[in-house]
Copies of this chain bind each other. A is one copy, B any other.
Amino acid sequence: MSNQQSLDDRKRNILKAVVDDYIETAEPVGSKALVDKHHFTWSSATIRNEMAELEALGYLEQPHTSAGRIPSDKGYRAYVDNLVQVEDVSTEEAEKIRHYLKDSLDELTGLIRKASTLLSDTTGYTSLALSPHVTQSHLQQIKMLMIEPGRALVVVVLSAGVVKDRIVRVPDILDANQLMQIAAAIEEGLSGMTLNDITLVTVASAARHAALPESLLNQVLYEAYVSIKQADNLELYIEGQHNLLSFPEFHDINKAQTFFKTLACDGMIAGYMSELKENDPEQSDNSFDTEDPCVQDGKRICPAYMIRIGQEIAVEGLRDCSFVTTTYKMGSVVAGRIGVIGPKRMAYSKVISNISFVKQTINENLRQIAQGEEISEENRT
Contact = CB atoms under 8 A, between A and B. Distances in A.
Interface stretch (A88-96, A240-248, A318-326): A240-248
The A interface, classified by DSSP as helix, strand, loop or mixed, is: mixed
Nearest to A152: B106
Nearest to A151: B106
A153 to B, nearest CB: 6
Contacts of A143: 145
Contacts of A165: 153, 155, 165
Stoichiometry (number of copies): 2
A169 B245 contact: no
A291 to B, nearest CB: 26
Interface in A157-173: 157, 161, 163, 165-169
Instruction: Report the contact-size class of chain A (Cβ under 8 Å from the partner).
Output: 35 or more
Nearest to A250: B253
Contact of A149 (B167, B240, B372): B372
A355 B229 CA distance: 35
A148 B373 contact: yes
Smallest CB-CB A-B distances: 9 pairs: A242-B260, A148-B376, A245-B257, A106-B167, A242-B261, A107-B167, A251-B253, A149-B376, A147-B157
Interface of A: 105-107, 141, 143, 145, 147-151, 153, 155, 157, 161, 163, 165-169, 240-242, 245-246, 250-251, 253, 256-257, 260-261, 264, 372-373, 375-376, 379
